[in-house]
Amino acid sequence: MWKKEKNNGKPACKSFVQMEQIVLPNDANPLNTLFGGRLLLWIDTAGAMAAIKHSRKEVVTVAVDSVDFKEPIKVGNMVKLLAKVTWTGRTSMEVKIDIFKENPYSGEIVKTNQAFMTFVALDNKGRPVKIPPVLPETEEEIFDNCQAKERRELRLKNAIDSQRPCCNK
């Protein structure tokens, strides 16, 4: 079984994406730091590219886990996003996106955020389609893959809970 899966599967590293941006005034909020919505766009873009590289299909975002903004990123800083598929189901895949800011003059690099997103691969009729299983290889990939199952259960539970009618309607 493991052998069969291994033959059909794809190493996690094949989905790796590195995307870099510089924060321009147009990306900023009134405090002159990166606007959160812009960062979410970049996270979604890097995550989708990793999902496409894994599945080689069109993908749509089906879930975004909570993202914390603890470190402001100033205009003029560079932002690096590293994305990789951590887990696969039948048609869906979880992608981890690590985000770093880099001071362009000192070269100092600080991790600012981490996000997990779920994408679904679609066929040419827009229906969910089977994807190859991901093969985690490094210690970090194996750790992320094990933890992903718990995150998925929580995500699916939250999705069901959010469909329940509101009690004061």
Residues forming contacts to ligand COA in the complex (CB under 6 A) are: 60-63, 89-92, 118, 120, 128, 155-156, 159
Looking at the Cβ atoms of 65 and 71, the one nearer to ligand COA is 65
Least distance from C-beta 121 to ligand COA, angstroms? 9
Least distance from C-beta 109 to ligand COA, angstroms? 30
Q: Which residue has the CB atom at the shortest distance from ligand COA?
A: 89
Please give, one letter per residue, the 3-state secondary structure of 95-140: EEEEEEEECCCCCCEEEEEEEEEEEEEECCCCCECCCCCEECCCHH
One-letter amino acid at 46 equals A
Structure tokens at 79: 């932002």
Looking at the Cβ atoms of 23 and 46, the one nearer to ligand COA is 46
The β-bridge relationship of strands 10-11 and 134-135 is parallel
Least distance from C-beta 53 to ligand COA, angstroms? 16
Least distance from C-beta 35 to ligand COA, angstroms? 20
Looking at the Cβ atoms of 100 and 119, the one nearer to ligand COA is 119
CA 40 from chain centre, in angstroms, equals 10
Q: Tell me how crowded residue 142 is: count the other CB atoms within 10 A of its CB.
A: 14
Looking at the Cβ atoms of 38 and 155, the one nearer to ligand COA is 155
